[in-house]
Structure 1
Amino acid sequence: MSIATALSAQRRRHGFPANEVAARARTSPAALSHIEAGRRLPRIDLAERIAEAMGSRIVVLPGARGRRGPAEIVDDIRHDLAQAHHDWAFRRLIQLSDDLRAVDPFVAAVLSAERPEHTGSALFDAGLAAVTAQALATRDMPTPSWTREPDRYLAESTYLPDPQAPFDLRDDEVPDEFAARNVRVHRLDLESV
């Protein structure tokens, strides 16, 4: 996630008016708009002031190189689903699982802390929460509160990635974090090849 994307997402998520953030950060609304749109790369001191104006901090995560958290893959999943590529979106969940298991447990927890936007699919929103909760729980790390929000659970059992899947799974074949959210997926399908 770029600094521009992170700052813009933080401002939108919390509903901070752009002119207010710009004033607190001692910059112009036009400059903030250019930064958020990715047309201008801010100096680190300005990026820090913008983050602080929203009550946030910029943190460098050692060991996270190339690894992404749930909030960073939502746009990719949303794009895949819009193109009717459910299998590609599912591959992104598998990659997320791999990423969260490949880094230090603390780094995995930090990568997962930010609440992701919705994907546009209740099934993939629940799947995203399940992958994150499972990856952290297997490493004895706390799960972020967003993984337990009611809209991260399905009312009925649904197969991931294909809700129309004709096969059935035994309960012991579905990981606990997925079963709790009514997301039916075989535990072996979640392993990277």
Structure 2
Amino acid sequence: MQLNGQLKKAREQAGWTQKDVAARSGIAHSAISRYESGKAGVTTGTLETLADSLGVTLIAVPGRINAAADVAQFIRAQLADGDTATAFRALIQFSDDLRAGDSFRIALTLAVEPDPTGDPHFDAAIAGLAELRLRELGLESPAWVTAEGRYAPIAEESLGYRWYVRHYDDTDPILIEHGVILPRETLASV
């Protein structure tokens, strides 16, 4: 997610309007609008002021793990183009990224709630993979991971493929709880 998207997401999650942030930060409402829309760049000082007013902390993290919000956005675009195979590969890459990252980076990448992908099974899979990895690390899941919209009814075909009993038997119970059949063999890095 680009910086402008993160600013907007943090503001929305706080339940504030752009005018609210302007009043709290002392930055003009019109400037905040331009920052969020990507029509204007933002300096580090301004970014720190906005972050303080939103109650978030800015940190620099070396390395890159695709955030759940980025993955959901990418998957949504692929699904809109009818490219379920690429959307599925992005989901598997997300799983690989979660397994490869340390607890600090993983917690950061899962802090912002992703927007819906347009497919309840992909939404459930993103949440299920996040919950699975966080439990493995002994970390608490953010509220969005277990929110109502993060579960789907189990269907014979989902995530772009038809599953069989052996797939169900090889799926972690946390994923099944989310309504997703995604076997361990599929999630294994090659």
CA contact (8 A) 1:25 1:46 kept: no
Partner of 1:78: 76
Residues 1:166 and 1:109: Cα distance change in structure 2 (over 3 Å): closer
Which residue pairs with 2:107 in the alignment? Answer: 109
Question: How far apart are 1:116 and its partner, in Å?
Answer: 1.4
Report how many aligned residue pairs link the two structures.
190
Match of 1:135 in 2: 133
Identity of counterpart residues, as a percentage?
28
**One of 168, 171, 185 as aligned partner of 2:182:** 185
- Mapped partners of 1:82, 1:169: distance in 2: 30
SS in 2 for 1:68: coil
Root-mean-square deviation (CA, aligned residues, Å) is 2.0
| Cα displacement (A) at 1:166 | 6.2
- Partner-residue secondary structure (3-state), 1:184: coil
Q: Deviations over 1:91-123 (max 9, x none)?
A: 111111111222212221222122212111111
Q: Which has the higher helix share?
A: 2
Secondary structure of 1:151 counterpart: helix
Alpha-carbon contact 1:159-1:185 (below 8 Å) kept: no
Q: Distance in 2 between matches of 1:166 and 1:52?
A: 47
Give the 3-state SS of the residue equivalent to 1:45 in structure 2.
helix
- Matched AA of 2:91: L
CA deviation after TM superposition for structure 1 residue 167, in Å: 3.6
Tell me the equivalent position of 2:39. Answer: 39
After superposition, the C-alpha distances for 1:22-56 in whole angstroms (9 at most, x for unaligned) are 23221112211111122222111211211222222
Q: After the TM superposition, which of the residue ranges 22-31 and 152-161 deviates more from structure 2?
A: 152-161
Matched, 1:122 2:112: no
Q: Normalization by structure 1: what TM-score?
A: 0.87
Separation in structure 2 between the aligned mates of residue 147 and residue 56 of structure 1, nearest angstrom: 20
The amino acid of 2:179's aligned partner reads N
Q: Which segments of 5 or more consecutive residues in structure 1 lack a partner in the other structure?
A: none
Distance across 2 between alignment mates of 1:49 and 1:118: 29
Deviations 1:36-91 (CA, angstroms, capped at 9, x unpaired): 12222211121121122222222223x4x221221222211110110111111111
